[in-house]
Amino acid sequence: MKTSVDELRRTRPRSRLLRAAAWAVAALVVFSWMSGDFGLEQLGGERRLANLERFTGELRPWPVQQQGGFDAGSTADWRTVYDWAAALMADGGSKALASTAAIAVLASVLAALVGYLACWPAARNVARPAPFFGGPAVAGQRRRLRLAHWAWSALNHSVRAVLLFARAVPEYLWAFLLVESLGYTALPAVLALALHNAGILGRLGAETVENMPPAAARALAAAGASRSQTAAAVFPSLLPRLLLYFFYRWETCVREATVLGMLGVLSLGSLIRDARAGNLYDELFFYVLLGALMVLAGDLLSALARGLVRRA
């Protein structure tokens, strides 16, 4: 067995391009390390370790800090932690959590509606005179319907350019521009997240359509089905992959909705900003954990939804 493995290793195909790329990446890493001022030599300093110990101590809930932690002889218990957390939830935490979830859900749904509608004209195997066909059939169509080919090509490139622009502008910049015109409400956050993620979902959806097995679509098109009928027929086979992308971007929207709260929009981010301003690191950590739990819930929901679709 060992001899056969060694023989396979000696006879494996070798690519000079891959080796050159690997060496180039290694050189870039070394250059970045040498030219960047990372200051890693100070990480183990006595002052840094003391600051780290103080900071991690301040992450504990305030009642626990007051009562000495959960060490032997301490009066702290989980009941005091529960009461502290319940007070934070009653004092704006539950409202901010609901606002963050609402922003993420609405932005994700809008992004999916726009992105998954735009993915069809953005897919190169759809935006052509003879959709879902390639090779000589397409060449023949181009010769007979050159004007139609140019029109579909222009539509394809235009939609792809719009999707590229939408995802090239960061959510935070979209939100900053929209806040200036729409005011400090949740709407700028929703639109900012929807615009950016529509560009991403549109691109991912277009790649999913382009990479799907072409046999079923070609059979439908050859039988006389229209472009829209063929797309509707093959859509269920693409749904698990599109759902995966949708829930992944929903997780991203939860995180970004939290960050956008620092612009003044009511969400977990606004509470994190206020806690940071008051050096209330225990409350800051609590709100960060709430956001992480929301992302975990979205991941579980994603797995459940995709499992149901596969079984159906």
- Domain range for residue 196? 84-117+171-311
Buried/exposed code over 25-42 (b: 16+ C-beta within 10 A; e: otherwise) = eeeeeeeeeeeeeeeeee
Confidence of residue 40 (pLDDT cuts 50, 70, 90): low
Is residue 191 in a domain? Answer: yes
Residue 154 CA to residue 141 CA, distance in Å, equals 16
pTM of the shown model: 0.74
Is residue 21 in a domain? Answer: no
Task: Answer whether residue 157 shows pLDDT above 80.
Answer: yes
Q: Which residues are CB-neighbours of 238 under 8 A, at least 6 positions away?
A: 208, 209, 212
CA angle 151, 154, 157 (to 5 degrees): 150
Residue 294 CA to residue 215 CA, distance in Å, equals 40
Is residue 70 in a domain? Answer: no
Candidates 111, 117, 138; CA nearest to 198 is 111
Number of domains in the chain: 1
Task: Answer whether residue 75 shows pLDDT above 60.
Answer: no
pLDDT number for residue 304: 82
**φ, ψ for residue 230, nearest 5 deg:** -65, -40
Candidates 272, 260, 200, 208; CA nearest to 234 is 208
Is residue 158 in a domain? Answer: no
pLDDT number for residue 76: 55
Is residue 243 in a domain? Answer: yes
Residue type, 60: R
Residue 259 CA to residue 272 CA, distance in Å, equals 9
Interval 79-123: pLDDT, tens = 788 888 888 888 888 888 888 888 889 999 999 999 999 999 998
Interval 41-51: pLDDT, tens = 656 667 777 77
Residue reference for tokens 């997240």: 193
Torsion angle (degrees, nearest 10) of CA 116, 117, 123, 128: 160
Average pLDDT score over the chain: 80
Confidence of residue 145 (pLDDT cuts 50, 70, 90): low
Is residue 160 in a domain? Answer: no
CATH number at residue 288: 1.10.3720.10
Interval 206-216: pLDDT, tens = 999 988 888 88
Is residue 196 in a domain? Answer: yes
CB 112 within 8 A of CB 102: no
Residue reference for tokens 């140019």: 150
Is residue 44 in a domain? Answer: no
For the four alpha carbons of 181, 187, 189 and 192, in that order, the dihedral sign comes to negative
pLDDT number for residue 136: 43
Residue 37 CA to residue 29 CA, distance in Å, equals 14
Residue 181 CA to residue 183 CA, distance in Å, equals 6
Residue 125 CA to residue 133 CA, distance in Å, equals 7
Candidates 196, 205, 216; CA nearest to 244 is 205
Confidence of residue 138 (pLDDT cuts 50, 70, 90): very low
Annotate 97-160 with DSSP letters as a single string. HHHHHHHHHHHHHHHHHHHHHHHHHHSTTTSSSSTT--THHHHHHHHH-HHHHHHHHHHHHHHH
Better pLDDT: 258 or 159: 159
